[in-house]
Structure 1
Amino acid sequence: MTFAIAGPALPLTLDMEATMGGTDEIGAVVKALNVLQVFSSELPRASISEVAEASGYTRPTARRILMTYEQHGFLATDGKYFWPTPKVLRLGFTYLSSLPYWDIAQPHLRLLADELEESCSLATLDGTEVVYVARVAVRRSVIQLNVGSRLPAHATSLGKAILAFSTQATLDDYLAHATFEQLTPNTVPDRTRFSEQLEQARVEGFAINDGEREIGVSSVAAPLLSPAGVALGAINVSVNSLRVPFDTLKTQYAPRLLETARAISEEMSYSGR
């Protein structure tokens, strides 16, 4: 999981060079944040050399940052490798609890997952990826994902549902940076086809993924909308395409998903979030 630092600044022992190019960024803080983001599910433990290589910083700089995090309890070490501590999780949970829909959506996702006997998830958009911020998995789950998992937005129903109902500025920024990597033969190949899928999602109110990230896995997603009609996130249901025909996904699962998304959105509005 990639974490973003929020809250009181750490008393770093680095040279506090400020990048004055018209911003208020502090170079040492940026470096420290970049180092923390080196740790992920792919690299849960890392040596000083590995962190230096992954971050692009010198070994002495990487060492000073790692030691500062260790001294303040954000990283642990056995003398060779470093890894995040539960204190870092506090930052992630702070983010989750700050979302306007997280606590509202959880019981709705549980009810939907129990009813359909399929895994349900909630995600937000971060750059060209969707980040899973809530998930209710069932025993026969067809894909292994956790809170914090990141997937390319163009190859997910969640990404399409969010982008179809995003502001034009958000969509333009996404299209300017998306690479449309072909993950399967079904993956949307380019900006033109992707835009067509978004338009279809706007008409139907939901977005579909038919083996675009992984063959044999299909999903349907619906946006969580603000009172202004802008997507704040999206929820989805993922299924084994051999067990649940595509038509069933659209005609039976999509309507229930839309009802759940509307209920969450309405509850958000009532709560003033």
Structure 2
Amino acid sequence: MEPRAAESEAAAPEASGQFVQSLARGLDVVRSFDAEHPQLTLSEVAARTGLNRATARRFLLTLTELGYVASDGRLFRLTPRILEIGYRYLAGLSLPELAEPFLEQLSHRLEESTSLSVLDGDAIVYVARVPTRRIMNVAITIGTRFPAAITSMGRVLLAAGPESAWPDDRREVLETVRAQGWAIVDQELERGLRSVAAPIHGADGRVVAAINVSTTTATASLERIRTEFLPAVLETAAAIDTAVAQARPHTPLGALRPGQPR
């Protein structure tokens, strides 16, 4: 993680006085913890955030007092309570609940992991997942982020957005994805990993998310992905689109299940 203190200061709209720098720094402290760094010393937090030790210590003690961080006196770690922050967003997002049973059916059909993600800047964020086995070095959970440009779901989402947001070195492939309506990525995110993705549309027809099936080179050839996985993913995406379009205005989307009368 790159130091962010100077970045926060540079980005602050000082003229309007609307930027709360202490809040930004507190969030930097939270983000300094990740899957590869679940526990950090005070010095490590300071180094990863660009804060001095005294400032980092105040934030860590505040987060500890609030229950978001725990410490043994030397090492600090996030507590499960930190999930409350992300859950507030996910709890109001009905699409993951609607999509999950369809993802489960797709996972059972292909015996592979399936996922749903949304675009956040230049990254995808996983909001639903049905795993079958671990196929990556990094565990994927709700909230996991990956660079959009090198993932199948990311390419589907980028291709549906403005061309001004496209990386120059991905422009040609994104044009292809936009034209065909799906994406296959072969070992770009991680060696030995392959995936295929399709878009999910909101009630207004805009692409709001993407689903994928991920597998390994040892399990599925590119030919099998094209002839077996791709049709299944497109069929599932269409089923989710239909469920979204047919959901009644006051019907919780999470209450819908495949085949349930609407």
Tell whether the structures are fold-level matches, with TM greater than 0.5: yes
For residue 101 of structure 1, give the secondary structure of its aligned residue in structure 2.
helix
TM-fit CA distance, 1:19 = 5.9
1:2-41 matches, cutoff 5 A: 20-22=14-16, 24-41=18-35
Amino acid at match of 1:22: S
Gaps of 5+ in 2: 1-11, 254-262
Structure 2 match to 1:142 = 135
TM-fit CA distance, 1:212 = 1.7
Amino acid at match of 1:214: E
Contact 1:97 1:103 in 2 (8 A): no
TM-fit CA distance, 1:149 = 2.3
The answer to whether 1:64 aligns with 2:40 is no
TM-fit CA distance, 1:270 = 3.1
Contact 1:19 1:27 in 2 (8 A): no
Structure 1 match to 2:180 = 204
Contact 1:160 1:201 in 2 (8 A): yes
Give 4+ residue runs of structure 1 displaced > 4 Å after superposition.
none
TM-fit CA distance, 1:231 = 2.0
> Which of residues 173, 178, 185 is equivalent to 2:165?
173
> Which of residues 34, 39, 48 is equivalent to 1:45?
39
TM-fit CA distance, 1:269 = 3.1
Structure 2 match to 1:159 = 154
Contact 2:129 2:141 in 1 (8 A): yes
**Distance (Å, rounded) in 2 between the aligned partners of 1:57 and 1:110:** 44
Do the aligned partners of residues 24 and 250 (structure 1) sit closer, same or farther apart at CA in structure 2, a change above 3 Å counting?
same
Amino acid at match of 1:217: L
> Which of residues 225, 230, 241 is equivalent to 1:249?
225
Structure 2 match to 1:124 = 118
Contact 1:130 1:159 in 2 (8 A): yes
TM-fit CA distance, 1:79 = 1.2
Structure 1 match to 2:69 = 75
Do the aligned partners of residues 107 and 23 (structure 1) sit closer, same or farther apart at CA in structure 2, a change above 3 Å counting?
farther
**Distance (Å, rounded) in 1 between the aligned partners of 2:191 and 2:31:** 30
Percent identity between matched residues is 38
Do the aligned partners of residues 24 and 173 (structure 1) sit closer, same or farther apart at CA in structure 2, a change above 3 Å counting?
farther
> Which of residues 102, 117, 125 is equivalent to 2:96?
102
Amino acid at match of 2:160: F
> Which of residues 245, 251, 257 is equivalent to 1:269?
245
TM-fit CA distance, 1:174 = 5.0
Please give the root-mean-square deviation of Cα atoms over the aligned residues, in Å: 2.0
Amino acid at match of 1:156: T
> How many residues align structurally?
236
For residue 213 of structure 1, give the secondary structure of its aligned residue in structure 2.
coil
Structure 2 match to 1:230 = 206
> Which of residues 168, 190, 194 is equivalent to 1:218?
194
Amino acid at match of 2:26: A
TM-fit CA distance, 1:53 = 1.0
**Distance (Å, rounded) in 2 between the aligned partners of 1:264 and 1:117:** 19
Contact 1:19 1:26 in 2 (8 A): no
TM-fit CA distance, 1:23 = 5.1
Contact 2:199 2:211 in 1 (8 A): yes
Gaps of 5+ in 1: 1-17, 176-190
**Distance (Å, rounded) in 1 between the aligned partners of 2:223 and 2:175:** 20
For residue 224 of structure 2, give the secondary structure of its aligned residue in structure 1.
helix
Contact 1:163 1:231 in 2 (8 A): no
**Greater displacement, 126-135 / 109-118:** 126-135
Contact 1:128 1:174 in 2 (8 A): no
